[in-house]
Amino acid sequence: MTLGKMRAVSLCGFVFALAFACVPANAQSNRITCAGILIDVDMRTNAEWPLAVIYDADGHYTCTIDRTGSGHEPLKPCSAGEKCRVVGTFRKVGHTYSIRIIDSVDRAD
């Protein structure tokens, strides 16, 4: 490969990487909406909050929300046993979506 071709390939790679680095932050593909019955699961003794779990029957997936360290009840519009809708960013753990940042919470009637 000649020096000119190597520079062209390097320049193309740089432009490609720059194009993906400039994608706006709000175009995240790691956002999810979970709607279903909210249940609380006690995972640890002496935990500040139980783990919140929602099974979304329409999407056939489970979402969890760890409220530890929040200092307040971030799911306040909903109570255990009620249908709740949570929108947020997630990290997928196995077949479960672990919601990291909550964007919105409301009752889903």
Tell me the C-alpha distance between 20 and 22, whole Å. Answer: 5
In this prediction, residue 7 carries a pLDDT of: 46
Q: What are the structural domain ranges in the chain? A: 31-107
Question: 30 in helix, strand or coil?
Answer: coil
In this prediction, residue 67 carries a pLDDT of: 87
Per residue of the chain (109 residues), give pLDDT as tens. Answer: 564 544 443 433 433 333 333 333 344 589 999 999 999 998 888 778 889 999 999 999 999 999 888 878 889 889 999 999 999 999 999 999 999 999 999 998 7
CATH code for the structural domain at 31-107: 2.40.50
In this prediction, residue 44 carries a pLDDT of: 81
In this prediction, residue 1 carries a pLDDT of: 56
CB 32 within 8 A of CB 41: no
Which helix (H) or strand (E) segment is 108 a member of? Answer: none
| pTM given for the model | 0.69
